[in-house]
A and B are shown apart, each in its own frame.
Chain A
Amino acid sequence: DAMVIQNPRYQVTQFGKPVTLSCSQTLNHNVMYWYQQKSSQAPKLLFHYYDKDFNNEADTPDNFQSRRPNTSFCFLDIRSPGLGDAAMYLCATSRDQGQDEQYFGPGTRLTVT
């Protein structure tokens, strides 16, 4: 009955080697979010999609890109991972924008070697 699914749960990549993280949802929610969470810190919003409309946070590095080919799937692409990009990446969804609960996926822990 998983509602927000992230694959893989653990990802190891080499410095500079592109990596893609995936998220899927069974809730048919309009909004999908990508957060970066480093140890003992709050989740930091990278970007989100409202339907097909992409919204990038001003301080999200250009190294991070996202794709949402359909309602159910959203991808996070890191073009050239650096050591500082090692973190937990959380995908979340909400039915709509505004005062709607955000449902988080289990996260993908990214290690950069």
Chain B
Amino acid sequence: GENVEQHPSTLSVQEGDSAVIKCTYSDSASNYFPWYKQELGKRPQLIIDIRSNVGEKKDQRIAVTLNKTAKHFSLHITETQPEDSAVYFCAALSDGGYNKLIFGAGTRLAVHP
């Protein structure tokens, strides 16, 4: 089955710096890769996603890149702000008969003013 690895587990940056979180997946048939942001005590919320027919997608300060050959995808946050502090989860859609999301272990991002 699908396995998703996420690095780093914690990331600390200064306000205004960029942050990069990387994930690798094992199932070459996976075709959908969402990123969720979860603030403390709150629900996970989708911030950006990418499908396998696209190599890069950008939404304001957030971008995601996908390398299908290497089976990895990354989240890039530019000009980080304190409100970006949260846990970020990557996920891959596994074609396990009913399309199941497999989550990475999460990255705790701290943005210091």
Contacts and interface: CB of A to CB of B under 8 A. Distances in A.
Contacts of B99: 97-99
B106 A101 contact: no
A41 B46 CA distance: 17
B34 A43 contact: no
Main secondary structure of the interface of A (DSSP, over half): loop
Interface residues of A, number: 18
Interface of A: 40-43, 45, 48, 50, 55, 90, 97-99, 101-102, 104-107
B98 A104 contact: no
A65 to B, nearest CB: 19
B83 to A, nearest CB: 19
Interface residues of B, number: 23
Nearest to A33: B101
User: Which 7 pairs, one residue from A and one from B, show the smallest C-beta to C-beta distance?
Assistant: A42-B103, A104-B43, A99-B32, A98-B99, A97-B99, A104-B44, A106-B43
A99 B93 contact: yes
Contacts of B44: 43, 90, 104
Interface in B19-45: 31-32, 34, 36, 42-45
10 contacts: A40-B106, A43-B44, A45-B100, A55-B98, A90-B44, A99-B31, A99-B51, A99-B93, A102-B101, A104-B36
